[in-house]
Amino acid sequence: MGLIGIGMFFDGFDLYLIATVLGAMLRSGFSTLGQNAQFIAATFLGMMLGSFATGFLGDRYGRRFTYQTNLAVFGFASLASAFAPNIHVLIFLRFIMGLGLGAENVVGYSTMTEFIPPQARGKWLGAMSFIVVLGLPATALVGTIIIPIFSWRAMFVVGGLGALVVWYLRKALPESPRWLESVGRYDEAEALLQSIEAEVSQQHATLPLPSPTPSIAPSRKLNSLLSPLLFPRMIVGCITLITVNTLIFGFVTWLPTFFVHSGRSIAQSFSYSLIISIGAPIGSAIAALTSDSWGRKPTIVGASLLTILVGSFYPFIENPLLLSLIGFVLMIPIYVLVTVCFAVYIPELFPTEVRLRASGICNTFGRGATILTPFLVVALFRHYGVGGVISMLVGLLMIEIFLVLIFGIEPKNRRLEEINL
């Protein structure tokens, strides 16, 4: 979790720096509101293509290879972004960063899923998501400190250097034994499992005999995702990730820009965003604690309903103190959804043989749909204010609730092999 989580922290840092950088670029005159939308759209386009490609690379060449590749891509592109001479070059570099950022989400959670026993899968994946989501308040805090002194360019330096340091450390990351077995590399899988078992036996007690594994191996062919078993899960996966991505990038990352555009200073907008962003890791922590005990489906539905409830009256708040407080409360259920959907639920839905491709396709739809979100957000905000943006999010959440209740499965306390029988 350490090797995967620290890399995904910088993935989250680079992703969430949109929230602080866009407001600063707008205030300094480096970009316009429309160019900010192009910047976000380029991010999503890169993430969409990165998510799609990494699914095929990860299932073909392994989880470890894919990790190292995407870290190098977004690490070097982030450093280069600090020296972009104009917004057009920065938008292109952001697209390159997006390729790596999209890949990281897919391969990180899927790999971790393949290492954890069923009774604690939600807790550990939720904990890793908590590390990732710390990137949101971290960017808000670092941005509040260094942007007024060194400008927004310093944010790309911090994210890029962090990613490259982790790229070096990750050479010690082990390959997934489940993936090794799925491609017929049985000796390597056995050797890795024996080393794990020996370590656990020394630190705890002698391990019990393993329970029988189902003898029917799922197909590695891509068309298996259209089967009666997996196709409904693909629908649920795509819609939930479209909703979660729109929540993050249609609302959360636009908060500083909304504040600046409504007349507040850059310092005020960063302060509000920092207070609100603290709700993100709290939401992830709640998801980590509840997804194993309550189950994935009840947690997703409950968080969605709470987001609709709080979000419905958020646009009508004028008092600055209440604006920050209610925004903080709203962020909690949003990031319960982010954690359960991204980190826990989606990777569990599919067998090892096609896990990364299926997760990659779901992420592709999620990222792809939100390519249009920045332009839609700008249009809604100009005509209807924040209320128009919130209305769009409420509609998506209602669709998500329906699909999860009707077509979703409950993976709580079930082995990955049992889920996919």
- Predicted confidence at residue 216, as pLDDT, reads 64
- Predicted confidence at residue 269, as pLDDT, reads 56
Residue keyed to tokens 């128009």? 388
**Nearest-angstrom CA–CA distance, 81 and 152:** 10
What single string gives the DSSP state of each residue in 201-254? Answer: HHHS-PPPPPPPPPS-PPP-SGGGGGSTTTHHHHHHHHHHHHHHHHHHHHTGGG
Regions of the chain with pLDDT less than 70:
213-217, 252-273, 314-316, 318, 421
**Nearest-angstrom CA–CA distance, 280 and 276:** 8
- Predicted confidence at residue 326, as pLDDT, reads 81
**Nearest-angstrom CA–CA distance, 285 and 27:** 34
Domains of the chain: 2-173+222-419 (1.20.1250.20)
175 by Cβ neighbours in 10 Å (0-12 / 13-18 / 19+) ranks as middle
| Token pair in block for residue 162 | 């962090």
Within 13 A of 95's CA, how many CA atoms are on the CB side? 13
| 353 closest CA partner among 183, 200, 144 | 183
104, 68 contact by CB (below 8 A): no
| 77 closest CA partner among 102, 99, 54, 47 | 99
Q: H helices then E strands: how many in the chain?
A: 20, 0
**Nearest-angstrom CA–CA distance, 330 and 131:** 20
Taking only the tens place, the pLDDT of each residue in 246-262 is 887 777 666 656 665 55
Taking only the tens place, the pLDDT of each residue in 148-170 is 888 889 999 998 898 888 888 87
Residue 350: how many other CB atoms lie within 10 Å: 28
